[in-house]
Chain A
Amino acid sequence: MKTPPIVTQPEWEAAHQQLLVKEKELTRARDALAAERRRMPWLAVEKDYAFDGPEGKASMLGLFEGRRQLIVYRAFFEPGVYGWPDHACPGCSLVADQVAHVAHLNARDTTLAFVSRAPQPDIERVKARMGWSIPWYTMTDGFDADFGVDEWHGTNAFIRDGGRVFRTYFVNNRGDEVMGGTWSYLDITALGRQEEWEDSPDGYPQTPPYGWWRWHDEYGDAEPSKS
C-alpha cells in the first residue's frame, strides 16, 4: 500500500483548508436538496394498513404515536432471511445499530419506527439481544409492496393532518447509508429540522437552532415546534 505524502502540520492544514471548500459545498448542497424535499408533493395514503406491535394490533395512525410525522424503515427480519431467527439481516442490523437516541426526533414531533415481517415475539427477542429500543412493528399486509420496500430496504417519511396520512418522501439503496442520525432523518421529512434558517415554505413550524436541543432525558413534556 502506497500512502499519500506525509507532511508538516502547516502543509496538512493548507491541504485541509483546500478540501474544506468542497466539504462546505457538500453541506450546502445537502441543505438545498432537503429544501426541495420539503416542496415535494404529498401522496395520500388511502388504505388502512394493519401492523402487529408490542401492544397488539396497530394502524398506520397508531405508528405515529400521536406525533405529526412518521419515519418508517423496512428491516429484513423474517423466516428465510440470513440469520433467522437469531438475527435480522446484517445490513438492516447495522442500520438499527446506528440509530441515534430517538428523543431528539420525538422533540421535533417525529416518530421513528422499524417494520419487518417477523412476528412480534421474534422482534422483541432480537431487540433485547441487540440492545435496540426503536419501536418495531410486524407488517401484515401489502405495506411493503405499496411503499417500495418489498424487495429491498428503504425509509419512507409520512406526515398526518388529523386522521389523514400522506407519504412525503422515500430513500433506499445507498440513500439509507446516511440514515440513523437525527439530522439525516429530519432532512428527509416534510417539515425538515424545523429551524429558522431553513428554506421552507411559508408557515412551516420553525424555532431557533441550538434552542430546542436538550439532554435526551430532560425533554419531559417539552412542546414540539408548532406552526
Chain B
Amino acid sequence: MVEVDANLTLTGPHGPLTVLEAFEGRRQLIAYYFMWDPGRPAAEQCDRDRVFETYWTTRRGVEAMDYSYALMDLTVYGRQESWEDSPPGWPQQCSNTRTNGGPPAWPPVSVWPGGRPIAQWSRLEAGHSDDLGAARHSVQS
C-alpha cells in the first residue's frame, strides 16, 4: 500500500470534505472516478490520521466492479470471510449461508461446508422427506 494525503479535499453534497471524511468512519474506502467533472482536488496538510491506496483498477477491470463481492475483492481486507487466503490476523468472519439449525436461532456452522442449506428448512418444516439423497426429484408439491 502507498500512503495518501488524508486531507485531500473533495466537494460533496454538503460542501467540502477530506478524503478521510469520505470514509464515513469506516476502515476502507473504494472510490470510482465517475467522468463528469475533471476538476482536480486540492491538497492540504493533515497530522491526525493516515490513508493508504491499496488497489486501483481501470478499463475492463471496472466491468467486474459493479457488485458488492467484486468491490470487496479489490480491498486490502477482501471479503473478510474465513476461507480467504489473507495475511495472519486479517479480520475474517464466518459468513456462509449454512446453519446447524432452523429458525428462529439459525446457529451458524463453524466449518465450511457443513450444516444445512437454508433451502432445506422450508421443506422439513412442511413435513417433506428428510432423505436428501433421494428427495431431489420427489419433493415438489
Chain A residue contacts of B55, Cβ below 8 A: 16
User: In the complex, how many residues of chain A place their beta carbon closer than 8 angstroms to a beta carbon of chain B?
Assistant: 44
B94 to chain A, nearest CB (A): 14
Give chain A interface residues in 80-136, CB to chain B under 8 Å: 80-82, 89-91, 94, 97-98, 100, 117
A6, B50: Cα distance in complex, Å: 11
B50 — nearest CB in chain A belongs to which residue?
A6
Chain B residue contacts of A6, Cβ below 8 A: 1-3, 52
A49 to chain B, nearest CB (A): 12
Q: State whether A2 touches B67 (Cβ < 8 A).
A: no
Give chain A interface residues in 145-204, CB to chain B under 8 Å: 145, 150-153, 177-184
User: In the complex, how many residues of chain B place their beta carbon closer than 8 angstroms to a beta carbon of chain A?
Assistant: 43
Q: State whether A1 touches B60 (Cβ < 8 A).
A: no
Q: State whether B89 touches A4 (Cβ < 8 A).
A: no
If A1-B90, A27-B60 touch, whether A178 touches B70 (CB-CB below 8 Å) is yes
Q: Among the listed stretches B12-20, B37-45, B113-121, which one makes contact with chain A, having 4 or more residues with CB under 8 Å of it?
A: B113-121
A143 to chain B, nearest CB (A): 9
User: Nearest 4 CB-CB pairs, A to B?
Assistant: A80-B122, A12-B2, A98-B67, A180-B67
- B contact set with A: CB distance below 8 Å: 1-3, 52-53, 55-57, 60-61, 63-70, 76, 87-91, 97, 102-103, 106, 117-126, 132, 136-137, 139-140
Give 8 A-B contacts (CB < 8 Å), ordered by A residue: A2-B87, A6-B2, A12-B53, A80-B121, A91-B118, A97-B68, A151-B120, A153-B119
